[in-house]
Structure 1
Amino acid sequence: MDSFIAQLNALLTDLYHPVSLPGWMLATLLVLVAASLILMAMYVRHNHGLIKDANQELLMANRRLSLATSVAGVGIWEWEKETDTLLWNPVMFRLYGVQPGEPMSIERMRAWILPDDWQQFKSLLGNMESTDRHEITFAIIRESDGSLRYIHAACYWLYTGRKHRLLGTQMDITEEHAAREKVYREAYQDALTLLPNSRALKSQLRLGLEQTAPGRMQGLFFIDLDGFKKVNDTLGHDIGDLLLKGAAGRMRQIIRQQDRVYRLGGDEFVVWIADVPDQDIHVLETIANKLIDTLSKPFQFDEVRAQVSASIGIARYPQQSSDMESLLKAADEAMYLAKRGGKNAFAHYSTPASAASGSPAADAVPE
């Protein structure tokens, strides 16, 4: 535009030069210049209108998006890695219980994310080479009221040529999470003791057996509480229920962190001793003896005293079984051998081949 005006000024200067053009030519040039100016003004005005309309449409689109995300409860966040700049829309502030407009940072977010979930969130922040869609669920402690909330985040990494940006959404799924937990509890948790039930045992044990490494074994204890029926008959079912819950708690305190206790029903429990070197049978026996010792101690409920003992059958995978069903059956058979041997003891299962060769089917070891 400046160049055109400069050229026009030069032309006008020439037109007023002493050696001037004929009148008709001068009139023609002036008409052309006027027409050009009119066309240029129309062009600028037209484009200015287009730009104004585009800006207006963009503003309206942003307002629609903001309204939609607000109504849907969708938080939008963007993090620029190189500058550590974190941007939130208004919904994000509500999700975390923070005053709108407060400066945000990843380090500040870390203070709200539970420690057990921070590692997966941190991995997401470092995975900037991936262009795939990432989804994670994590728990936070909401700043405004201290409540525990579950957040589902979906995001993409974008590279603009010089900077990496993580752009995504977050939603509060606490209610959905609670509903799923309720369904899981009803399907996989014993209502009385809160231990995993038989369905959970079969689901988890099958996977555990498939993952057994060479040179390792899985141990399975089948446990029956001796004398429990007498407690129920003489002291009542309420005391019996308290005893079952107490027994579950004692067993959880004895086993290792990687082991699991399950209630099958009644007074029958299963303990899965996970991932033991295949020659370390003494590890299984040590845990079995500790379980027998803790379960044989009296249970005190106010003025009522109750006492039981435990018979434990021990079976091993893959040495004594080929799958989950045969492992459970072997441990069950060994438990009945322990009972026949005098109760309050454990017994190892032996394969039918061992029994046929003259060895006893199981070795009952009294406490």
Structure 2
Amino acid sequence: MHKEAELIHQKNILMLKILWGFFTIANIINLLVEGKLAPVYPLAGLILLTLLTGVVLQKRWPSFTMMLTVCFLFVFFYFLITGDPYLPNFIFMALAPLLSLFYHDFRAVLLSGILFILSSIYYFFAYQDVLFPGFQGREVSYLISFGAFITVFSIIHTRLTRSLWRRAGQSEERLRTILDSVSIGIWTFDLSTMQIEVSDGFEQLTGFSPKVFQTNSQQINEMIYPEDREIFKEFQQEMIFGRSSAICEYRIVCRNGTVKWVQNRGMPYFNHLNHMVRLEGVMIDITDRKQMEETIEHLAYHDELTGLPNRTLFSKRFEEYANQGKFSLAILFIDLNDFKEVNDTFGHDAGDLLLKDIAGRLTSIVREQDMVCRLGGDEFLVLLVDIDESRVVKVADRIKASLSEGYLYQGYRLTAGASIGFCVAPSGTGDLEEMIRQADEAMYGAKKSRVRQYLSQQEKVASHEI
């Protein structure tokens, strides 16, 4: 059934209940006042209400049933007034147009207004002596004017109400579109029942249907990435014990196994006694934002061409080790030989590919705790941790051997050796800038003399033959 038809059907059911209520109350009042039931009204009303009940419960023609219900209102008052032509009964008939407003439907409102005017004219002339003693025939115009006023008022009221509903529906649709586009789930946790209710957005966000959360209140905890569960625990404690709103960001494992970053914003709600009754909040998918942040952070600390750490990240890592003061540190300064000739002969594309290949070779030689950094151009730095000078020499030999193997580019074999200088701080507390400067000097010495040079902070520059 269409959404609007379903709404009309629900209103038909409620209107049917109202009619049964009026019918029962009217008979009770009649019994109490007159001491007996009216001879026609109860039976006719019972038959008509039973027929109307059958039509309503059929749920097949909601709009037709709505119009039939409006007509039945006036049939109801017809039997009431003709059975007992009493002015209060006529006045109660004015409730019919007001009850038709319940539908907020122009058809029901207009039909009710017309039936009220026609009924008023009929009762005025049929029961003028009883209902309107002393009134002249022309004074029926007052009843017609009153009926017209009620009809116009009902139409205006219906129009305004439907306009507000339409705007609210449009706003709701826009909000739903926004919520769907940003993957937002709304949640409510009842502290008295310890049950959680979530919106449909949770299914799009997590892959789990709202029913899963209703049957298992721990699902919202179980789907949190194990390493981030403490973050969520602190988030809950801040709301409950701190009695304030809280925000946290953590990872969740979706139903299909994918990992997403979410931001959870929650706040406690209190009753009139200032007792906390529930927690409410929204969960937002921030995976794209996190990935963007990671990308920006990576670009801030890594060389764009080779993907190696840049000078900034290299300095941070060195400071971390230097502050610990537990390990000896060594800095290797590597400068490629004949790299300019490769660029001039084969172009910058060849040079870029050569730098990427060299970056990969350097990374494969050092250990996980070590770090390779592209300083710029054809210069590289290597940080070696917990190592003595003899082992530094071995690493330098391996680097020179690897870089001298040559490279293939479009069928051509390229060669790019390297000059290496290094500086060792046995105590692990050296100054980075000074160590780089000394390693740079050693490298230039090696480039000039074609021998490998190294420098210790405790010794002067010494040289060894390649």
TM over 0.5: yes
Shift of the 139–102 alpha-carbon distance from structure 1 to 2, 3 Å rule, reads closer
**Does the 8 A contact of 1:95 with 1:142 survive in 2?**
no
Alpha-carbon separation, structure 2, partners of 1:309 and 1:224: 9
For the pair 1:194 / 2:301, whether they are aligned, the reply is: no
Which residue does 1:120 correspond to in 2?
A: 227
Alpha-carbon separation, structure 2, partners of 1:105 and 1:301: 61
Residue in structure 2 matching 1:327, options 426, 431, 435: 435
For the pair 1:228 / 2:328, whether they are aligned, the reply is: no
Shift of the 326–79 alpha-carbon distance from structure 1 to 2, 3 Å rule, reads farther
Cα deviation for residue 320 of structure 1 reads 8.6
TM-score by length of 1: 0.60
For 1:236, give the aligned amino acid: G
Q: Which runs of 5+ in 2 are unaligned?
A: 1-171, 269-277
Aligned residue runs from structure 1 range 263-282, under 5 A: 263-274=374-385, 276=386, 280-282=388-390
Which residue does 1:90 correspond to in 2?
A: 200
Shift of the 78–208 alpha-carbon distance from structure 1 to 2, 3 Å rule, reads farther
Q: What SS does the aligned partner of 1:305 have?
A: strand
Farther-moved stretch of structure 1 (237-246 vs 167-176): 167-176
Which residue does 2:324 correspond to in 1?
A: 212
Which residue does 2:392 correspond to in 1?
A: 284
Shift of the 216–328 alpha-carbon distance from structure 1 to 2, 3 Å rule, reads same
Q: What SS does the aligned partner of 2:408 have?
A: strand
Alpha-carbon separation, structure 2, partners of 1:362 and 1:79: 71
Alpha-carbon separation, structure 1, partners of 2:189 and 2:393: 54
Q: Which runs of 5+ in 1 are unaligned?
A: 1-63, 158-164, 356-360
Which residue does 1:9 correspond to in 2?
A: none
Aligned residue runs from structure 1 range 10-29, under 5 A: none
Q: What SS does the aligned partner of 1:258 have?
A: coil
Alpha-carbon separation, structure 2, partners of 1:300 and 1:77: 59
Cα deviation for residue 151 of structure 1 reads 2.6
Q: More helix per residue: 1 or 2?
A: 2
Shift of the 287–233 alpha-carbon distance from structure 1 to 2, 3 Å rule, reads same
Which residue does 2:16 correspond to in 1?
A: none
Cα deviation for residue 266 of structure 1 reads 0.9
Cα deviation for residue 302 of structure 1 reads 3.3
For the pair 1:297 / 2:405, whether they are aligned, the reply is: yes
Q: Deviation string for 1:5-26 (max 9, x for gaps)? A: xxxxxxxxxxxxxxxxxxxxxx
Alpha-carbon separation, structure 2, partners of 1:173 and 1:107: 20
Work out the number of aligned pairs and report it: 274
**Does the 8 A contact of 1:70 with 1:91 survive in 2?**
yes
Which residue does 1:183 correspond to in 2?
A: 296
Superposed CA RMSD:
4.1
Q: What SS does the aligned partner of 1:313 have?
A: strand
**Does the 8 A contact of 1:154 with 1:169 survive in 2?**
yes
Q: Deviation string for 1:252-284 (max 9, x for gaps)? A: 11111122211111110111223x16xx33343
Alpha-carbon separation, structure 2, partners of 1:92 and 1:281: 58
Aligned residue runs from structure 1 range 60-139, under 5 A: 70=179, 73-75=183-185, 88-102=198-212, 118-124=225-231, 135-138=248-251
Higher relative contact order (CA 8 A, sep 6+): 1
Alpha-carbon separation, structure 2, partners of 1:286 and 1:85: 64
For 1:211, give the aligned amino acid: N
Aligned residue runs from structure 1 range 342-357, under 5 A: 342=450, 345=452, 347-351=453-457, 354-355=459-460
Which residue does 2:359 correspond to in 1?
A: 248
In terms of Rg, which structure is larger?
2
Which residue does 1:10 correspond to in 2?
A: none
Farther-moved stretch of structure 1 (178-187 vs 322-331): 178-187
**Does the 8 A contact of 1:209 with 1:317 survive in 2?**
no
